């Protein structure tokens, strides 16, 4: 092996700065970009990496871990005695059953597959259950194994091309629901397997909405993989928008909504890059598309609607690390209009990130309490919420430390 090969950040002799440099390089991120995301100078990053400056305190370590999308904090700190998964939540008890259903492809069966109409009705009920439940993974995890097996069977038993396309569209939607369950759990290979199968099924269906939905989730998977995968996220998003755009003038609401959701995803990725103009430009295009939808319309999968655009504005501002703008957008957004409990909890987490960026740590913790009330499973699996809570357990304020510790125990980051 070449002596120029980058060292393994898990190798024991590496110190913090060296680990940070290796992880930054693997993400395809320059010192200048990392410095900007941390509100530091490139020279500060260089001095940390070269060991000129001492290892920063826990709050900055957690911010570095967030920006570099470090899964296990031990990769960055080198302390293998205290592994902390930041962006992967605990494995759900129902994950093995869902995984087994996804991985199994029985070729012989003595039963008839349910009809596409029947499967679609079950899917509709499953989405409704997900949005209304505070513990949505528990609910969906119980429904998915049979849904996956039945949808796969429906595709295998479809004799004619039209029936097969309809069955593929249903299967693609089942895989989409599966991704919501699997996301942020400790099996990234399974997530990618489902994302790819969902995209293949959607393309085989030739259904614009199924294709848009699969692309929406695939783009998110790329973006969440880190800075080096942003181009792949954009490629999926923009290519799908080129495909959907000619269909929009006469398209049904769900196709227009998924196109709007993809417009926002492009803005989200631009915000992660730090491209302010592009990010807000895509957000504004998505907002205009939302205004064309009926006032009470709410997309059952992505939550895209007029009501969600305020929450999306908070996300853009937060990803651009604009604390003041995040707080201003949070003041304008009305969380009560977000029908989905997990999506409402996600919005509260984004608000908390904005408050912390603006130096309002107490308000950030109070907002995370609201996220927990809306959907405990959302905050339990969210890396940003976990980072804020862990950071505040080191606060100089006894009140902050106590409040953060109570939240940490509730979501399982710390034990009582």
Tallying the residues shown for the chain, one arrives at: 416
Does residue 1 lie within any of the structural domains? no
* Residues 260 and 289 sit within 8 Å (Cβ to Cβ): yes
Residue pLDDT tens, the chain, 416 long: 444 555 554 444 578 888 888 888 887 788 887 887 787 888 999 999 988 888 888 778 877 887 787 767 777 887 755 555 555 667 899 999 999 999 987 776 778 999 999 999 999 999 999 999 999 999 999 999 999 999 999 999 998 999 999 999 999 999 999 999 998 888 889 999 999 999 999 999 999 999 999 999 999 999 988 888 899 999 999 999 999 999 999 899 999 999 999 999 999 999 999 899 999 999 999 999 999 999 999 999 999 999 999 999 999 999 999 999 999 999 999 988 999 999 999 999 999 999 999 999 999 999 999 999 999 999 988 888 988 888 888 788 888 888 888 888 888 876 55
Give the count of domains, the chain: 1
Q: How far is CA 248 from CA 289, 306, 338, in A?
A: 10, 17, 25
The Cα–Cα gap between 233 and 235 comes to: 5
What end-to-end distance do the CA atoms of the chain give, in Å?
47
**Among 305, 300, 231, residue whose Cα is nearest residue 261:** 305
Does residue 40 lie within any of the structural domains? yes
Q: Give me the CATH number covering residue 51.
A: 1.10.260.40
What is the domain range of residue 37? 16-77
Dihedral (CA of 363, 369, 374, 377) sign: positive
Does residue 124 lie within any of the structural domains? no
The confidence score (pLDDT) of residue 194 equals: 96
Does residue 41 lie within any of the structural domains? yes
pTM of the model: 0.82
**Among 86, 60, 73, residue whose Cα is nearest residue 10:** 73
The Cα–Cα gap between 356 and 110 comes to: 57
Does residue 282 lie within any of the structural domains? no
The confidence score (pLDDT) of residue 109 equals: 74
Does residue 248 lie within any of the structural domains? no
Gyration radius from the chain CA atoms: 22
Does residue 32 lie within any of the structural domains? yes
**Burial zone of 60 (CB within 10 Å; 0-12 exposed, 13-18 middle, 19+ buried):** middle
Does residue 28 lie within any of the structural domains? yes
């Amino acid at each position: 092996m070449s002596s120029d090969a980058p060292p393994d950040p898990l190798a024991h002799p590496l110190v913090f700065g060296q680990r940070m440099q290796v992880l930054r390089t693997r993400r395809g991120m320059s010192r200048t970009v990392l410095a900007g995301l941390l509100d530091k100078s490139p020279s500060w990053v260089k001095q940390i990496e070269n060991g000129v400056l001492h290892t920063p305190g826990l709050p900055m370590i957690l911010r570095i871990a967030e920006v570099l999308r470090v899964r296990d904090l031990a990769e960055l700190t080198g302390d293998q005695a205290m592994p902390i998964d930041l962006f992967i939540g605990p494995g759900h008890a129902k994950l093995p059953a869902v995984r087994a259903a996804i991985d199994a492809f029985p070729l012989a069966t003595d039963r008839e597959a349910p009809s596409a109409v029947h499967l679609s009705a079950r899917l509709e009920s499953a989405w409704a259950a997900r949005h209304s439940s505070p513990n949505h993974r528990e609910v969906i995890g119980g429904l998915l194994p049979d849904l996956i097996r039945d949808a796969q069977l429906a595709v295998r038993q479809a004799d004619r091309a039209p029936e097969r396309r309809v069955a593929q569209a249903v299967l693609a939607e089942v895989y989409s629901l599966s991704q919501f369950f699997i996301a942020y759990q400790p099996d990234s290979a399974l997530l990618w397997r489902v994302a790819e199968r969902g995209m293949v099924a959607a393309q085989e269906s030739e259904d614009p909405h199924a294709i848009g939905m699969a692309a929406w989730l695939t783009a998110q998977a790329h973006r969440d993989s880190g800075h080096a995968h942003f181009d792949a996220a954009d490629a999926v998003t923009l290519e799908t928008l080129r495909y959907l755009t000619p269909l929009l003038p006469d398209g049904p609401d769900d196709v227009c909504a998924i196109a709007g959701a993809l417009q926002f995803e492009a803005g989200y990725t631009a915000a992660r890059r730090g491209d302010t103009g592009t990010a807000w430009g895509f957000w504004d295009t998505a907002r205009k598309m939302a205004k064309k939808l009926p006032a009470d319309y709410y997309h059952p999968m992505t939550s895209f609607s007029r009501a969600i655009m305020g929450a999306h504005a908070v996300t853009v501002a937060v990803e651009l690390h604009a604390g003041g703008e995040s707080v201003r957008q949070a003041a304008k957004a009305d969380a009560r209009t977000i029908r989905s409990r997990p999506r409402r909890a996600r919005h509260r987490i984004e608000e908390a990130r904005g408050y912390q960026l603006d130096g309002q740590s107490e308000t950030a913790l109070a907002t995370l309490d609201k996220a927990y009330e809306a959907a405990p499973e959302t905050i339990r699996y969210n890396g940003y919420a976990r980072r804020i809570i862990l950071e505040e357990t080191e606060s100089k304020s006894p009140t902050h430390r106590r409040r953060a510790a109570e939240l940490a125990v509730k979501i399982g980051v710390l034990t009582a």
